[in-house]
Amino acid sequence: MAGQLTGKTALVTGSAQGIGLAIAKSLASEGARLAIHGLADKAQQDEAIAAVLESGATEARFFDGDLRDSDAINNLMAKVQDWGGCDILVNNAGVQETVSMEDATPEIWDRVLSINLSAAFHTMRHALPVMAERGYGRVINISSVHGLVASVNKAPYVASKFGLVGLSRVSALEYANRGNKASGGVTVNCICPGWVETSLIEPQVAARAKKYGGDREAGVADLLSEKQPSQRTSSPDEIGALALWLCSPVAHNMTGAAIPLDGGWTAQ
């Protein structure tokens, strides 16, 4: 039986592993073609492609492109367009630097903002007009709870994620009336996770674990106790499930949202 995304092509940046790969596999489960992207050697590329094909993708291909470089992004999007163009764009690639304002350098600022925010602008400016022509499109930007609330020692990261929410809302308004209910419309939304079990949080877990003689579980518990009332981390698969729902026909009026998946963090 054909899935609800059969015939649709999805580009997921940073999808060779972690949250990005989980999202790619979730979209693949409903029959999407997957454009995989990320920092990966040939073995990692092949492994990611195999994983999405096993999950149900009708086709999968790896595309490279340095997201710090607008020309490289232009080339990436041109190659995806030649492959059929993306009906679904997930801007997932991101970096984080935990650094005080005093110690933040221009180089750190530029790197975080270029990957977390500017890259999304460049992919979206290519993808959204094509989506509008087709009457269906889904842009899902993986922001963060730090796109909704701030924390100390994360100025570049917080600025980039707040900016991503703002960029998404403007784009959602500009494309809100493209397409129709039957075609699915064009929507732009953010998912804003709290603590998720990925390599991105490992430096902070390790720092907390030092207080407990290197006990990782104790470090995770200490990290969660500070911000996340549920006291539970999310898994990448849960982010993937939400992304899949946002791509469904029933989500045609869900646009301009910044959806927290944060265990109550931003409810406080």
Q: What amino acid positions are annotated as catalytic residues?
A: 157
Q: How far apart are CA 235 and CA 232, in angstroms?
A: 10
Radius of gyration of the CA atoms of the chain, in A: 18
User: CB count, 10 Å around CB of 85?
Assistant: 19
Q: How far apart are CA 232 and CA 105, in angstroms?
A: 33
Residue 198 DSSP SS3:
coil
Residue 5 DSSP SS3:
coil
For 145, list phi and psi in degrees, rounded to 5. -55, -25
Angle among Cα 47, 53, 59 to the nearest 5 degrees reads 115
Q: How far apart are CA 59 and CA 43, in angstroms?
A: 18
